[in-house]
Amino acid sequence: MELIQLSDELWVQEIDLGIFEVRGSLVLGEERALVWDSLSHPRDMEPYLPLIADRELTVVYSHADWDHIWGTAGLAQLPTTIVSHAVCAHRFRTDVPETLAKMQASEPGRWDEVQLVPPNLMMDNTCTLDLGGLTLELHHLPGHTDDCLIALLPEQGFALMGDTIETPFPVVPADSDLSGWIAQLRRWEGNAALTRIVPCHGPLGGRELISQTIDYLERLQRGDAFELPADMSPFYRETHESNLKWREGRAL
């Protein structure tokens, strides 16, 4: 676990889960603090507590995958507002508890402290949050999952991209709307106001990270051949093989 300060207002928390790493963020306004993804376990939130102090607290779920939402119960003061896309709230009634039950059964003791805390404020396309001297904009960007959000800090030039981009490439479900995903990413790739990109997986960088994801998705869509790096982790080799099922599904 590593806590890194990117600016006076933005911190990121990086967690090594063994098979991959995941990153969440803490945004500090003058009046309110915002946790972008509570990561995989309640203990992941401990480093945030002294930084949040007595600020009013909001949590945003970038989407409802387990490594982004299981830490909320670790916040000493449960947030009064938990924001997500409406599809994310639906997933808390379907696949989210099913995933927790399976992982608790397969790894006894590891996930016992996890308590699911569902969202209580749902959005559809866009939402703006005033943190006090700092604005955070939420935008729906489906593709990796139907409930994916990204968050922009326009005064700072930061974009928290969730799992909509990833290095070396994102997870692409077989039913993903790849054309819509690419079109939305093109919009943000061309936004010169974005100077720092913070994905939940993979290195930080600039808008070239968006371009790299677009390139991979377009090659997948066209049916191009891929040459994967020799040192790619087993997780991403398996992910790529799974991504190819999107192409197979379109060929049927």
- Give DSSP secondary structure letters for 59-94: EE-S---GGGBTTGGGSSS--SEEEEEHHHHHHTTT
pLDDT in tens, 84-121: 999 999 999 999 999 999 999 999 999 999 999 999 99
Angle of helix 178-189 relative to helix 208-222, nearest 10 degrees, comes to: 150
| Cα separation of the two ends of the chain | 44
Question: Under a CB-based contact definition with an 8 Å cutoff, are residues 60 and 139 in contact?
Answer: no
pLDDT in tens, 21-62: 999 999 999 999 999 999 999 999 999 999 999 999 999 999
pLDDT in tens, 189-214: 999 999 999 999 999 999 999 999 99
Quick check: 251 pLDDT over 70? no
136: closest CA among 50, 48, 33?
33
Is the overall model pTM greater than 0.85, yes or no? yes
DSSP track, 128-181: EEE-SS-EEEEEE--SSSTT-EEEEETTTTEEEEETSS-SS-----TT--HHHH
Quick check: 68 pLDDT over 80? yes
